[in-house]
Structure 1
Amino acid sequence: MEYLALIRTFNSLPLVEEVIGCLRMQTCPPTAIMAVDSGSDPGQAEALRALVDVWLDVSGQAFNYSRSINLGVQAATLENVLIISSHVMLREQDVMERFFAELASKGDRVGSVISNKSQAWLVRQVNNASFTGVNGLTNSCSFAPTALLRELPFREEVFASEDQEWTKRFLAIKAGSLTVVETGQIDYLNKHFSYKKKYNEEMALASFVDTRRKGLPAILTWLLKSIWSICFRGDKAKAGHRFRVAMGLCKARFKKPDINSKYY
């Protein structure tokens, strides 16, 4: 299986060097690795450029997750693309080989591998009937034909959860399915936990994927969760986050959120 591994980067060393090393050690390794860089410091950029086969500098424009992916896909010369995060580590050498076997057995061309430490190797197929709005393609490690990603590019106005919005369109337009593998054989090592990121994801899901998420029952649920967090857990940070989500969803019922994509 020939494929390009596309990694979005921004001052991602030293972790991304390990990510690249794990990719090259796969029994089904990528034919080439591309870094789509959003303006890393000169020293990091020089070091990273030496580690990859294709270097694409997109720092001359405002950062946007979807645009970065789309530009990388446009520059791809291979038939398939693996979009993989700069902090996702494939711990076993046969992860991609097993994943490709799962795609073939399901008859799918699109899929994701998700880190889940409670699962050895759980395979599920997602179609229009089973898509919940949050269980689709995951751009931390996702695979699709290059031609398909060019036909259905990621929407730049979707400021977060662009993978779920893409899944919704893919399932609706192509009437197909995708394969998702949940496994403890990969690690998701982004140490930058951010409630702002989670807030943006909720706003994007409600605005672009499932409008029921900004319905009154959903807003009430967030408010009750906020009360629970402060009264029974004493967690002011989580309570504040949940309250902000509830208020943001209220506003989103009347006006589209004014949020820009951000690298976390």
Structure 2
Amino acid sequence: MRISAVVRCLNEIEHIERLVFGLRAQSLPIDELIFVDSGSTDGTLELIEDLGDIVVHIDRSEFSFGRSLNRGISQASGDLVLICSAHVYPSHDDWVEQMARMFDNGRIAYVYGRQIGDHRTKFSELRVMKSWFPPVSTAAQSHPFANNANAMLRRSVWCERGFDEYLTGLEDIEWARYVQGIGFELAYCATAPVFHVHEENWSTIRNRYRREAMAYKKMFPGAEMAAVQAMRLACSSVILDLLASLKSRTAVSPLEVVQFRMNQFYGTWKGYASGMPDAELISRLYYPRRTGVEADSMNGRALSYDGFSASEEALG
């Protein structure tokens, strides 16, 4: 099957070449690379015109995550479409192959892969990723949790109905609900991990969780979160993070942990009014502690980014 890749970007000059380097090292190569740019001003635009096959432009006034994906996928010719953020990069050379293989099951319409942090990732964010993206795959997931920072979809299903262009976030979960509702299946691929680089300030973190809560509220009108519930979740998360750091003997800044969790749940509270449906889905969104599980074994070759010079190697 032919595979297209769609990458959303905005001012990603520091990250995008690393992603392209990782894409070009894959055991199963992609057939075309499509960038969707929403108004970059840092040199990203000039770079992707050299790196990509197609560049789609979307005005900032029109931007939504769903709309940018729809614009990019509409230009794709592949049977499968790999979707990823510009600030991710694969850990292994069989990233694309592992996700594509899951579509051998004709009922699979949507697959999302594992996300892990690198040396720049805040400790609490690492804990979030470990909770959302466990080390064991799920061939047919019962709930609609998904994340399109690292995902692949069957384009023929997308052609029937694309991503919601009016949500402020969680367009990936909304489309997963749609896919499951029309009789297709959603899968999670733990053996297709990417490093996801989040270098956000506190305001950006707060706003990210706020817009996701707003989207969740739109999808589930009865969803609520009281201020006391948000504070309780923030405090318990801080305690669990600090205990986890002691157990793992990881040096962390207690102040950073408090700031991350307080901004996370303050933003979430702002996005809600106040109770939450779908306990299984919420368990993924609000990061419970997970017991130890045996991880799926990795088959591909680990990619090395040591001494990576993007301007030389990604273009080579």
Q: Same fold (TM over 0.5)?
A: yes
Question: What residue number does 1:196 align with?
Answer: 207
2:51 alignment partner, SS class? coil
Q: 1:125 to 1:55 in 2, by over 3 A?
A: same
Alpha-carbon deviation of 1:230? 9.0
TM-score by length of 1: 0.79
1:38-117 pair list within 5 angstroms: 38-41=38-41, 43-59=43-59, 61-104=61-104, 107-116=107-116
Distance 2:102 2:40 in 1: 36
8 A Cα contact 2:28 2:96, kept in partner: yes
> How far apart, CA to CA, are the structure 1 residues paired with 2:41 and 2:267?
34
Q: Percent identity?
A: 20
The question of whether the paired residues in 1 share the 8 Å contact of 2:209 and 2:265 is answered with: no
Match of 1:143 in 2: 152
Q: Map 1:1-264 to 2 at 5 A.
A: 1-41=1-41, 43-59=43-59, 61-104=61-104, 107-116=107-116, 121-127=135-141, 130-131=142-143, 133=144, 135-136=145-146, 138-172=147-181, 174-183=182-191, 185-192=193-200, 194-208=205-219, 210-214=220-224, 221-226=229-234, 235=258, 238-239=261-262, 241-243=264-266, 245-246=268-269, 248-250=271-273
Deviation of 1:229 (Å): 7.2
* Aligned residue type for 2:223: R
**1:55 aligned counterpart, secondary structure:** strand
Q: 1:188 to 1:171 in 2, by over 3 A?
A: same
Q: Look up the equivalent residue of 1:201 and give its one-letter code.
A: E
- 1:227–1:85 Cα change, 3 Å: closer
Q: Write the distance in 2 (CA, Å) between the matches of 1:198 and 1:44.
A: 26
Deviation at 1:126, TM superposition (A): 4.0
Matched with 1:258 is none
8 Å contact from structure 1 (residues 89, 188) kept in 2: yes
Return 5+ residue gaps in structure 2 as ranges.
118-129, 241-253, 277-316
**Is the Cα–Cα contact under 8 Å of residues 3 and 31 in structure 2 kept in the other structure?**
yes
CA apart distance, 1:225: 2.6
Q: CA RMSD in A?
A: 3.1
Q: Name the CA distance, whole Å, in 2 between partners of 1:185 and 1:241.
A: 24
Q: 1:240 to 1:21 in 2, by over 3 A?
A: closer
